[in-house]
Each structure stands twice: as C-alpha cells, then as structure tokens.
C-alpha cells in the first residue's frame, strides 16, 4: 500500500502532465544554464591554432559525409588506446572545433592523431577506394569527391562567424580566405604530383584536396610525435 501514493496523481491527467513538464524544465535548466557561465574556462594548449580556410572547408566536408559517424576523435586515457593512437585527447585541443567531433564510435580507427602519419598520396588513394589500401576495409569509396569542385563561396563568411565566436582570425585571414584556401590546395596538389599522381586541373581543385588538408592537420598542433621520438617512443606510436 505504501507504493500507491502516486495513483491519485496519475488519475489527474492534466495535473500530472503539468508537473511532469515542470520537472523536465527544471532538470533541463540545471543541465543547460551552468555551461553558459563556464565559457572561456578551457584555454587552448600551446600551439593549438584555428583551422586554415582550406582545413575548415575540409572539416565541413568531413561532417557532411558523416565520417565522424565511424571515426571518433577522442583517445581515452587507457594504455591500449595511447599505445595505438598516441596521447589521450585533452579538452584544450578542441577549443576551435564547432561542433566538436569527439565521438565514441569506432567502426574505423580514431583519427585524433592521424595528421602526418601517412603522405597525402596515401589519403588520395584511400579516399578513391579504401580497398586499394586495405582489402578488408568496409569504408565506402569517395571517388566522387575527386570530381566535385571545391566551393569556396562561403569560406570568408565562415571565418567571419567563427571570429565573432572568438576564433583567432585576423582581418587579413578573413578577407583573403578564398585565396588562402586556393594557395594551400595548390600545395596539397603539388605534394600529390610529387608522389606520382597525375592530377587533372579539376582534381587539383576538388573537394578531396580540402578533405586531405583537414585530415593531415588532425593532432599535429601539439607536436606529440617529436616528443615521442625524443623520449624513445614512450608517448605512443
């Protein structure tokens, strides 16, 4: 009988609904309000910088294609993870990520530290057809992106918005966003040609170029590979 106290309340549909909504509202406020007073409490780690214009476009393509659904960017502080991927993920690394892409799913490997691990040409082949790199891969091919021209029409506006949100872009970076993106794309294309990839002009200005630029940036700001080499490899492989 002690557990029947709620039955009279449940019999009053309107009252029960109102009280339920109030409970959800109070709980939601408790969850949502405190973070607004914690803005700026996480400082960027030394060396962590905002993405370049091209890397920012590549990141948006990464999100558009749902890459973060299969690849986390969050290395947990366990030896099995740090041995495989590198140092565990720190909050200050993602201070310029909007939205952050930590994730928890690992259909594919974590990509937090993949930048610089493979040459640009490796990524070009991998995006074209992952089975050329790993026959057992279940990742879909993204060869269509090599035929899709990179749209830079909104790049300047993206940097303006991020600047207003606190990202450290100066006026020159904002005004020259599209030109800077094209210049970096040319450097990526030159790297691919140096490795023997005969790129057409369309491929050299494709979405894949921006995606490679973003992937090659991941995890490189904290210079952990250099630190690991200096310590005899103790910070991860």
**What was the pLDDT predicted at 2?**
59
Within-domain flag for 118: yes
Within-domain flag for 90: yes
- Angle at CA 164, nearest 5°, toward 158 and 167? 75
Reduced to 3 states (helix: H, G, I; strand: E, B; else coil), residue 219 is coil
**What was the pLDDT predicted at 104?**
75
- Packed helices 177-194 and 155-164: angle between N→C axes, nearest 10 degrees: 120
Within-domain flag for 1: no
Residue 141 near residue 57 (C-beta atoms within 8 A):
no
Distance CA 155, CA 178 (A): 6
Within-domain flag for 79: yes
Instruction: Tell me the per-residue pLDDT of 211-226, one tens digit each, with 9 for 90 and over.
Output: 999 999 999 998 776 6
Residue 100 near residue 72 (C-beta atoms within 8 A):
no
Instruction: Tell me the per-residue pLDDT of 135-145, one tens digit each, with 9 for 90 and over.
Output: 999 999 999 99
Chain position carrying tokens 């973003």: 214
Within-domain flag for 34: no
If one counts the domains in the chain, the total is 1
Distance CA 94, CA 115 (A): 15
Within-domain flag for 234: no
Question: What residue numbers bound the domain in which 106 lies?
Answer: 53-220
**What was the pLDDT predicted at 37?**
75
Within-domain flag for 78: yes
Within-domain flag for 68: yes
Give the CA dihedral 37, 39, 40, 46, nearest 10 degrees. 140
Chain position carrying tokens 């057409």: 200
Collect the ranges in the chain with pLDDT lower than 70: 1-3, 38-41, 225-237
Residue 206 sits in a domain of what CATH number?
1.10.760.10
What are φ and ψ of residue 93, in 5° steps?
Answer: -70, -30
Distance CA 61, CA 27 (A): 35
């Amino acid at each position: 009988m002690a557990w029947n106290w709620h039955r009279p309340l449940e019999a009053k549909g309107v009252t029960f609904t109102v009280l339920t909504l109030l409970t959800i509202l109070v709980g939601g406020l408790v969850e949502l309000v405190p973070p607004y007073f914690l803005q700026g409490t996480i400082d960027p780690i030394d060396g962590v910088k905002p993405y370049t214009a091209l890397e920012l476009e590549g990141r948006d393509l990464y999100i558009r294609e749902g890459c973060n659904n299969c690849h986390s960017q969050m290395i947990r502080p366990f030896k099995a993870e740090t041995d495989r991927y590198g140092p565990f993920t720190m909050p200050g690394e993602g201070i310029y990520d909007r939205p952050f892409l930590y994730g928890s799913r690992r259909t594919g490997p974590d990509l937090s530290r993949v930048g610089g691990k493979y040459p640009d040409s490796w990524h070009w082949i991998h995006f074209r057809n992952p089975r050329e790199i790993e026959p057992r891969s279940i990742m879909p091919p993204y060869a269509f992106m090599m035929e899709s021209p990179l749209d830079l029409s909104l790049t300047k506006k993206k940097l303006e918005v991020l600047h207003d949100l606190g990202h450290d872009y100066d006026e020159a970076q904002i005004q020259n966003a599209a030109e800077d993106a094209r210049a970096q794309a040319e450097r990526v294309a030159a790297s691919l040609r140096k490795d023997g990839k005969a790129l057409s002009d369309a491929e050299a200005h494709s979405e894949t170029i921006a995606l490679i630029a973003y992937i090659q940036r991941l995890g490189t700001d904290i210079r952990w590979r250099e630190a690991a080499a200096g310590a005899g490899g103790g910070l991860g492989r």
